[in-house]
A = this chain, B = another copy of it.
Amino acid sequence: MTKIKVGIIGSGMMGPIHAEALRRLGYVEVVALGEANQDLARVKAEQLNIPKAYGDFRALIADREIQVIHNCTPNAMHFEISKAVIGAGKHIISEKPLALDSRESAELVTLAAKAGVVNAIDFNYRNYPLVQQMHAVVKSGQLGRLFLVHGSYLQDWLIKDTDFNWRVEVAAGGESRAVGDIGSHWFDTVQFITGDPVVEVMADLNIVHKTRKKPKQTIESDSGNILTTDDYVNVPVATEDSATILFRTHSGASGSCVISEVSAGRKNRLYLEADYENGALEWDQEEPNRLWIGRRDRPNESMIKDASLMHPEVRPFSHYPGGHPEGYSEGPYNLFANVYVFIRNGAKGTPTFSTFKDGHSERLICDAILKSNRTRAWTRVGA
């Protein structure tokens, strides 16, 4: 029972979540943590009960013992670090977005394929049991033709001009904020469920606070901390607070999506409805154990996550009996379960999880959205 040895780079919001999900697997060991400097690395590693601490990501990558590396750094560092991991011939699991734009993400896809390393990206919302169930139902063909898909991803953590985070600034978070950070999840989830790629977009981005008050010390995202108003610096904001987007899919269905980080009372509401010829699917990430199925000629259905009601292939994504809610933490747990079984089995066959290709696909959509907003015109994805 030798365990697979793993290193995690980055200990912000996502690093600890990765560590915990990996430990639940039982056959994976988190042996090292990388951070921006040695002191921070040591403190955080101790907090997280991780044996080794690296103040330099290159040193962590070079550690002979480590077979797989998780990239949990801020967006702007994703590209460089993932490239270095691939360069060292090690397996790589990246937080999203894969990179800051589709040029970078394309390069990573190519490099990873050439190097033959296992590569995954954490589009964790795919990994809810009922999202998998929607995917399976659509794939079975029983719902027929897709007419319309729509929804929203709403948060409120940046509603005030005194709310601040590294994601607000282009240098660390990239040119797009709301779309890049949360819209990316919405589009990945929808493409995964429908299997119908987004081919054209029409977007309108909005910045509701043209300047924000930046505190002198950083805060974690979604932390709910209430800061005092002293010691703020006014900074101009160039990244969008919200976006309204129309799109068309490969099959000709029309789509609509609203993305916002300034919608009061919405904490993390990824919401979608897919309207098919023979029924509709509706799902809300804030109540993830319930799937609504709309029907025209009989009562609508409300499926509670319950293994006995789900497609056989989907059942492994559910760990507890019906009515025992599965939550956010089971997303990365399921993703990693799939990735590490794949690694353990010698990386044969087709991955059943989101890979760098999916990360690149999302970056193409994001680039098209940014371009559409600039040109105020319908824009082809990947053109």
Contact = CB atoms under 8 A, between A and B. Distances in A.
A13 B204 CA distance: 39
Contacts of A258: 148, 150, 256
Contact of A13 (B206, B279, B308, B321): B321
Copies of this protein in the assembly total 4
A46 B1 CA distance: 9
Nearest to A27: B49
B275 A1 contact: no
Contacts of A152: 150
A346 interface: no
Interface string A179-208: 000000000000000000000001010101
A265 interface: yes
Given A152-B150, A293-B265, A248 B204 contact: yes
8 contacts: A222-B324, A226-B308, A260-B275, A267-B304, A267-B306, A299-B303, A324-B327, A327-B329
Interface of A: 1, 13, 17, 19-20, 23-24, 26-27, 46, 48-51, 145, 147-148, 150, 152, 154-157, 159-160, 202, 204, 206, 208, 221-226, 241-242, 244-246, 248, 253-256, 258, 260, 262-269, 273, 275-280, 285-304, 306-309, 319-330, 376-378
